[in-house]
Amino acid sequence: MLKKPRRRTFDEVLSELRRLQFDVRSTVGDANRVAISKHGCSIVLERAQNEAGFRMVVRPGIVIDGEIAHLYDHGFQKFFHTSKAEFPATAEKLRTLHQFVEDVKEVTGSVTLYNEALGTVSDAYLYDRVRGRDLPVDERPIPAWEQPSR
């Protein structure tokens, strides 16, 4: 019979992450937030209001130039985005990020969803054919195939 994982407290999670040689550092300006990193990946967790657990503040990502880069899927290619630049996501970087997320979830006792178990999940999906579909019809950009020829 499957057992439901025991929910760990924030301090128990941090202690276990340190034991497993994750780098656990307090963030500047907020004592309740910690940056957790290992193998060039990082995530920011925060102590929950009720002190019983934690919540994710910044999604996990690869660290590039000291900043957590988030994964965007452009349909044909995945990219890591920072505030300054965009980098193609290589298979090696995606495997590293996926393993980091799985390790953190195992320590925290978080549930892994089916689609997450299959591979790395992007933070945003920016396919060119669906860009702007969430806008009202009169504000949507005209697709290239419908624009008048010059």
How far is residue 80's CA from residue 65's CA, in Å, rounded to a whole number?
A: 12
3-state helix, strand, coil in the chain (%, to 5): 25, 30, 40
How far is residue 80's CA from residue 92's CA, in Å, rounded to a whole number?
A: 13
Task: Kindly state the helix (H) or strand (E) to which residue 37 belongs, with its residue range.
Answer: strand 30-38
Residue-wise pLDDT for 23-82, tens only, equals 999 887 777 789 999 999 999 988 877 656 788 888 899 999 989 999 988 888 889 999
With contact defined as beta carbons under 8 Å apart, do 72 and 126 qualify?
Answer: yes
Assessment of whether the complete model's pTM goes beyond 0.85:
no
Q: How confident is the model at residue 128 (pLDDT cuts 50, 70, 90)?
A: low
